[in-house]
Amino acid sequence: MANYLITNCGGGTVIVDSGESSLMIGGTYYLGFTGETSSGCYTINSETSDPADDTISTIVSRYDNCLECLQNNEFSFLASACTTESVILINPSQFTEWPIGNFYTICDDVECDCFEVYGFIEAITSSVYTISVPYSDCSCEIPPRSANTETFICVTDCEFTGSTAVSPPHPVWTDGYGTPVTQLNMVLIGSGNGLNG
């Protein structure tokens, strides 16, 4: 019988008595309790000699991480639209990374909107969405990408009073994912519509 400090996948820690069970430090489990602690997915932080706040009654299974635990135990993520007050439930199997705190373009059969995933609940949803890669803010825009170290050109002024470093236009290519990438170590020759454009 050991006491463990555990963290709920949604945040918050509690000290629990494991009863007859032995838990792996760093493992994530779906746990049920005899007291007031809500059942759910928890990560085992450490063993402790501090008194327990609750006792584990059931251990469903051990998982590699919180996302895997939620995907296997009838949970849904909560997402709030950036431009409206819409809240949707998303099946956790639609994510390959921990989505809470990230922004996604989420599309249904009718429209697309930018959503922030902010939590999860124990509920099942069968809704299927088209979900983009995560973004850094509610604009859901891919930040510009560039490659290499920028090349500057030293331009002498007509008055011969000195020179100025200017950033010339750089060529842009599209990577394998359709994202424009600016080649900072190259100089664009012509107008950008080809050498003779």
Give per-residue pLDDT as tens, 130-173.
998 888 888 888 666 666 777 667 776 666 666 676 777 777 87
Which residue among 21, 45, 65 closes a domain?
A: 65
The span from the CA of 62 to the CA of 118, in Å, is 24
**Do 53 and 88 fall into the same domain?**
no
Residue 109 confidence class, pLDDT cut points 50, 70, 90: confident
**Do 86 and 61 fall into the same domain?**
no
Measured over the CA atoms of residue 34, residue 37, residue 38 and residue 42, the dihedral's sign is negative
DSSP 3-state of 96: coil
By the 8 A CB rule, do 131 and 90 touch?
yes
**Do 46 and 9 fall into the same domain?**
yes
**Do 78 and 123 fall into the same domain?**
yes
Q: Is residue 140 part of a domain?
A: no
**Do 56 and 80 fall into the same domain?**
no
Q: Is residue 195 part of a domain?
A: no
Q: Is residue 194 part of a domain?
A: no
Q: Which residues contact 125 (CB under 8 A, 6 or more apart)?
A: 76, 89, 90, 91
Residue 89 pLDDT more than 50?
yes
**Do 124 and 80 fall into the same domain?**
yes
φ, ψ of residue 52 in degrees (nearest 5)? -80, 145
**Do 44 and 93 fall into the same domain?**
no
**Do 59 and 104 fall into the same domain?**
no
Q: Is residue 137 part of a domain?
A: no
Q: Is residue 136 part of a domain?
A: no
**Do 32 and 13 fall into the same domain?**
yes
What pLDDT sits at residue 197? 39
**Do 51 and 81 fall into the same domain?**
no
pTM reported for the whole predicted model: 0.69
Q: Is residue 139 part of a domain?
A: no
**Do 48 and 97 fall into the same domain?**
no
The span from the CA of 152 to the CA of 155, in Å, is 9
Structural domain harbouring 155: 145-183
Residue 196 confidence class, pLDDT cut points 50, 70, 90: very low
% of the chain residues with pLDDT over 90: 53
CA distances from 28 to 17, 50, 78 (A): 16, 21, 21
**Do 59 and 17 fall into the same domain?**
yes
The pLDDT tens digits of the residues spanning 32-63 come to 999 999 999 999 999 999 999 999 998 878 99
Report how many domains make up the chain: 3
**Of residues 192 and 7, more confidently modeled:** 7
Q: Is residue 188 part of a domain?
A: no
Q: Is residue 80 part of a domain?
A: yes
Secondary structure letter of residue 51 according to DSSP: P
